[in-house]
Amino acid sequence: MGDKPVTGDKPVTSEDHWRITVDATRCIGSGICAGTAPRHFALDGSVSVPLSGDPDEAALDAAESCPVEAIEVRDQSGRVLAPSL
Amino acid sequence: MAVTDDTVLARDYPFSPPHRLDVDELYARLRAEQPVIRVQLPYGERAWLATRYADVRTVLGDPRFSRAASIGRDVPRTNPYQPELGILAMDEPEHGRLRRLATKAFTARRIEALRPRTEQIAAELLDAMAATGQPADLVEHFATPLPIRVICDLLGVPASDQDKFHVWSEAVVSTTSLTPERISEYIGNLHAYIGALLADRRREPASDLLTAMAQARDADPDGPSEDELVAFSAGLLAAGHETTVTQIPNFLYALLTNPGAMERLRGDPALIPSAVEELLRWVPLGAASTFARYALEDVELSGVTVRAGEPVVGSLTSANRDERVFADPDTLDLARHPNPHIGFGHGVHHCAGAQLARMELQVALGALIRRFPGLRLGAGEDELVWKSGMLVRGLTSMPVAW
Ligand code: HEM
Ligand code: SF4
């Protein structure tokens, strides 16, 4: 999975930001992501929305845990960091 | 309104013994008038009960509520002894580390790949049931063997051993139908059995979930312990057994006793996926409520302050009937849309087997209406025997005719 992502509250510059998307047509509102990575996801009604692109392992864990693979985490270059296939 | 005084009377909960699939009318009154109340379950300390959809979702999904904090407490519960709940008694990040050993196997995509095989098993079972003559017991001939074969295939557990572990896994969902000694004996047997299978797979890897989980655990020395893996695998086997097994007859019962429902589904089988979601909402599977969550700090729920350290149980049944979210909540509407029910729970503990159960339930209903267009109850409603002393409501047998 490449370099270890930055965790905790170290300041991150915008170049480090990940691009996190939730496919709203797939999301079933399970709330697993919001529970796994509360800084990165919240539920808006019954659909999850990404809140932050701060690089953090918790966001990768959330993408790996989504039962319908609705979450995608990419780095600045567009490389998919999670979910793995 | 915001009473947290311990001298305040707690209502006994569940409010009434489970009766068929009836929902106690008190839930609707509480949602309207007193959405968070003090309750006393048959065992354990006093708890708060949340009945509104929004509050139940908060209790299940908000990290300020913890399952791990229940360890060492006299947990509000329906059974005399305190079971070890494994994954269901963990918080993040330990919970996620354990659960992710299996996430991949349960994604919608992987589960979809199991559909053709599941359809084939369903067709075989129904042919065999037809051959036994009518009335036939749907529980014995179809609802029980179908999910068991599927979960055994997926995990890599020999279906030929099922007589053994079927008995043991009942211990996982038993409340008062087994003695505490029996329950720990059975759970011990189940764990020893699974532990031996995991050891086999390490020696001789196969393309099944037990192998994948053993390898994933061995690759991560900081991850879950072997005991946690064993308990989790046993939990999957047991859950894969008792839940869907119970819901297939419950769903059929609901379809046959709600006027017009069965005809509607037969007339339009494309409704099956939405019918399954609606049945997951409408059928009050749990005889009581979810496992208690403990507040880690003071949290306000509908005007009531839950103090740090206090337990809350959320009623999925009540949340799924909340008129704030569902129009005509007591009506079974097979085409309901949208349907954000929480029949599989919510938050990090959202049912790990949800996609599998959905697929199985869709296959089961589809196969039943295709094979037996005239399917009906083979006994009077009053002759049906419902389980008692279990966490879930369900029929012990279900005679059907066609
Ligand atoms: C119709 C069938 C099913 C229903 C209605 C159902 C319902 C639920 C509910 C409500 C929860 C959450 C409990 C809580 O948070 O207090 C849950 C958790 C769980 N279910 Fe299911 N379930 C079903 C089938 C299955 C199947 C087939 C499996 C396994 C293959 C399974 C495995 C699990 C596991 C492992 C958990 C714990 C998840 C965790 O703690 O992260 N379930 N289920
Ligand atoms: S885990 Fe997946 S399905 Fe669940 S809320 Fe998040 S994005 Fe939606």
For range B104-125, the mean pLDDT: 93
| B367: nearest Cα among B155, B177, B116, B185 | B116
Domain boundaries, chain A: 19-77
Torsion of CA B212, B215, B221, B225, to 10 degrees: 60
- Complete domains list, chain B, with CATH: 11-401 (1.10.630.10)
For residue B3, the model assigns a pLDDT of 47
Residues of B in contact with A67 (CB under 8 A): 103, 106-108, 350, 354-355
Which CATH number is associated with domain A19-77? Answer: 3.30.70.20
Q: Which of residues 54-83 of A touch B (CB under 8 A)?
A: 58, 61, 64-69
Taken in order A69, A72, A78, A84, is the CA torsion positive or negative?
negative
Interface test with A, best of B97, B111, B348 (most A CBs within 10 A): B348
Tell me the per-residue pLDDT of B257-308, one tens digit each, with 9 for 90 and over.
999 999 999 999 999 999 999 999 999 998 777 799 999 999 999 999 999 9
Tell me the per-residue pLDDT of A39-68, one tens digit each, with 9 for 90 and over.
999 999 889 999 999 999 999 999 999 999
- Phi/psi region, residue A5 (left: phi>0; alpha: psi -120 to 50; beta: rest), is beta
Task: Quote the CA–CA distance of A62 and B91 in Å, as a whole number.
Answer: 14
For range B251-260, the mean pLDDT: 96
Give the pairing type, strands B311-314 and B47-50.
parallel
Of B95-104, B198-207, B241-250, B284-293, the range with the lowest mean pLDDT is B284-293
For range B29-33, the mean pLDDT: 97
Taking the CA of residue B88 as reference, the ligand 1 atom at the shortest distance is: 40
Cα Rg of chain A (Å, integer): 12
- Counting every residue written for chain A, the total comes to 85
Task: Quote the CA–CA distance of B28 and B190 in Å, as a whole number.
Answer: 40
Ligand nearest to the CA of B283: 1
Of B7-11, B265-269, B375-379, the range with the lowest mean pLDDT is B7-11
Of B50-64, B73-87, B129-143, B324-338, the range with the lowest mean pLDDT is B73-87
Task: Quote the CA–CA distance of B354 and B237 in Å, as a whole number.
Answer: 14
For range A68-75, the mean pLDDT: 94
pLDDT at B400 over 70: yes
DSSP assignments along B43-57, one per residue: BSS-EEEE-SHHHHH
- Helix (H), strand (E) at residue B315: none
For range B141-162, the mean pLDDT: 91
Q: Which of B351, B359, B361, B393 to mutate to test the pocket of ligand 1 (most atoms within 8 A of CB)?
A: B351
Query: pLDDT > 70: what percent of chain B?
Result: 96
Task: Quote the CA–CA distance of B244 and B190 in Å, as a whole number.
Answer: 19
Place of tokens 């060492």: B72
B301 CA to chain A: closest CA distance, Å? 17
Task: Quote the CA–CA distance of B262 and B252 in Å, as a whole number.
Answer: 9
Cα B133 to averaged position of ligand 1 atoms, centre (Å): 34
The beta-carbon neighbor of A69 closest among B92, B109, B338 is B109
Task: Quote the CA–CA distance of B254 and B247 in Å, as a whole number.
Answer: 10
Task: Return the higher-pLDDT residue of B152 and A16.
Answer: B152
Taken in order B22, B25, B26, B30, is the CA torsion positive or negative?
positive
Of B1-15, B214-228, B330-344, the range with the lowest mean pLDDT is B1-15
Structural contact between residues B353 and B289, judged by C-beta atoms closer than 8 angstroms: no
For range B1-16, the mean pLDDT: 71
For residue B389, the model assigns a pLDDT of 66
For residue B201, the model assigns a pLDDT of 95
Backbone angles phi, psi at B185, to 5 degrees: -60, -50
